[in-house]
Amino acid sequence: MATMSPMWFILLEITCFFVTHAYVENMPLRTLSGVTHEEAMFGLKALKASLTRDSLASTVPSYPPSPTPSPLPSQDLKKPHVYFVTSYGADPTGSSDSSDAFLAAIADAAKGPSEGFLMKDIKDLGGAQINLEGGKYMISKPLQLPLPGVGNFMIHGGSIRASNNFPPDGYLIDMSTSGERNAYSYEYITLKDLLLDSNFRGGGISIKNSLRINIDNCYITHFTSTGILVQGGHETYIRNSFLGQHITAGGDKHERDFSGTGISLQGNDNAITDVVIFSAAIGIMVTGQANTISGVHCYNKASGFGGTGIYLKLPGLTQTRIVNSYMDYTNIVAEDPVQLHISSSFFLGDANIVLKSVKGVVNGLNIVDNMFSGLNHGVDMVKLDQSNSPFNQIDQVFVARNVVKGMNLKATVAKMSMQGNGTSWAADFSKLLLFPNLIKHVVYSLIANGNSFPNHVLRNVSQNRVVIETDEAVTASVFVAVDQSIAS
């Protein structure tokens, strides 16, 4: 057929429009021949399409055929590295031993493909996961990674309980290695959303010589040794977790018998954040430097029963920061603290801070902006334990701006004012100042009434008493400020 001109095409369109419109307006729903309205409309559209198909064919440009789409990559290459312990025969009801199933799943995960980009000699497992699928499992031996040198790996989502024949010196999850290793053993391993029940057969988690380990949202209970043990390495982060040897909410009649340690930090640069330790003899034991403790609530064992909330056993170089925490009837003990900061924390029920002398050193100590609420038993908010030796090397110690109720306020800075008539004024700070017989700096002013202009002098500073004398009797107001914290 010859090509239809554009003008003819336009006239055809207009004609079809008017014919169709007139037909629709005047045609009843059913014609004498039985053709419906829908059938008539379909016929008109078919007529229009037949008249225009050939004319459009000559004007539509020709395109090459679409390329065949590339085949999708094999699904095996995209398979996630998730290992379900039930696929290895683990019993999610806890009725039978699942140790071998767990260890097999961990071994397969550790053999997974390496993605690179971690520390030297650390194999990146690409985010491999051991998924507990919300089950409750019993194990008779520690879950230990088969080889050191792996990372980017997670165990999550269920409960693990030690059986009655679990080794009493073992840990449910053990990330330690036998023998010496110069490099880090593990990096970026996450233990998350787990309930670990040691069944009074050892500890919960052991981490040795590892880097950037996460323990998040875990509940660890019934341990006899330590809930979480961190040895060497650095940057283990423990957060949003609960630890207790016995499951209690305080006021337990067996509290005197609590034993074990909630968390033991035997390495540097770690952090404990938003953690509750509700039963243990010692809440947190710190024997490594440069650790941070924040948002921790310790009511593990009252100090009156021999317990300790946080024990800093690092005489000579502490480098620890404790902030925004809650010491609930249990105290903080620091041996020879050097560079220790405690602030913005709450101490309840005569809980206090004990500075324990080992070699008589305390240097770079800040205890500021805390609240202490006691039982009116005459307990000092900061106590000096000098049973081994007196503190004789004291420098840069600042204890101030604390709020105290029902306990004895202690500080290293103090002020006092006096009014009277005479030649001598004595300001006694012995009940308030922390260290006995130690005032490093004194500032005073004397305002005499009347027209006299007396000479005055700071006569004596000893036993935390300041004596000011004038050369004549005057009626005066005397203001004294003392400081034990000025660097020598």
Q: What is the pLDDT of residues 404-435, one digit of tens each?
A: 999 999 999 999 999 999 999 999 999 999 99
Mean pLDDT over each residue of the chain, to the nearest integer? 87
The pLDDT value given to residue 336: 98
- Would you say residue 360 has pLDDT above 50? yes
- pTM of the predicted protein model: 0.82
- Would you say residue 9 has pLDDT above 50? no
Which is more confidently placed, 365 or 146?
365
pLDDT mean over 192-200? 98
- Would you say residue 14 has pLDDT above 50? no
Which is more confidently placed, 27 or 337?
337
pLDDT mean over 64-82? 52
The pLDDT value given to residue 417: 95
Mean pLDDT lowest among 59-63, 99-103, 232-236:
59-63
- Would you say residue 32 has pLDDT above 60? no
Residue 178 confidence class, pLDDT cut points 50, 70, 90: low
Phi-psi region of 370 (alpha: psi -120 to 50; beta: other; left: phi over 0): beta
The pLDDT value given to residue 59: 46
Q: Return the biggest CA–CA distance within the chain.
A: 138
pLDDT mean over 130-148? 94
Which is more confidently placed, 67 or 454?
454
Of residues 39, 166, 150, 148, the one with CA closest to residue 98: 166
Which is more confidently placed, 114 or 282?
282
The pLDDT value given to residue 104: 97
Whole-Å CA distances, 319 to 306, 344, 354: 25, 17, 17
Which is more confidently placed, 465 or 74?
465
The pLDDT value given to residue 28: 42
- Would you say residue 72 has pLDDT above 60? no
Which is more confidently placed, 253 or 5?
253
Mean pLDDT lowest among 21-35, 78-92, 126-140, 301-315:
21-35
- Would you say residue 77 has pLDDT above 50? no
pLDDT mean over 35-60? 49
DSSP assignment of 438-472, as one string? Answer: ---EEEEEEEE-SS----EEEEEEETTEEEEEEEE
3-state secondary structure 24-48: HHHCCCECCCCCEHHHHHHHHHHHH
Q: How far from each other are the two terminal CA atoms of the chain, in whole angstroms?
A: 111
Whole-Å CA distances, 230 to 78, 214, 288, 315, 397: 35, 12, 10, 19, 30
Pairing of strands 465-483, 413-428: antiparallel
Residue 30 confidence class, pLDDT cut points 50, 70, 90: very low
Of residues 352, 245, 236, 238, the one with CA closest to residue 302: 352
pLDDT mean over 290-313? 98
- Would you say residue 260 has pLDDT above 60? yes
Residue 79 confidence class, pLDDT cut points 50, 70, 90: low
Report yes or no: 374 and 343 within 8 Å, Cβ to Cβ: no
Q: Which residue has the tokens 């909410």?
A: 249
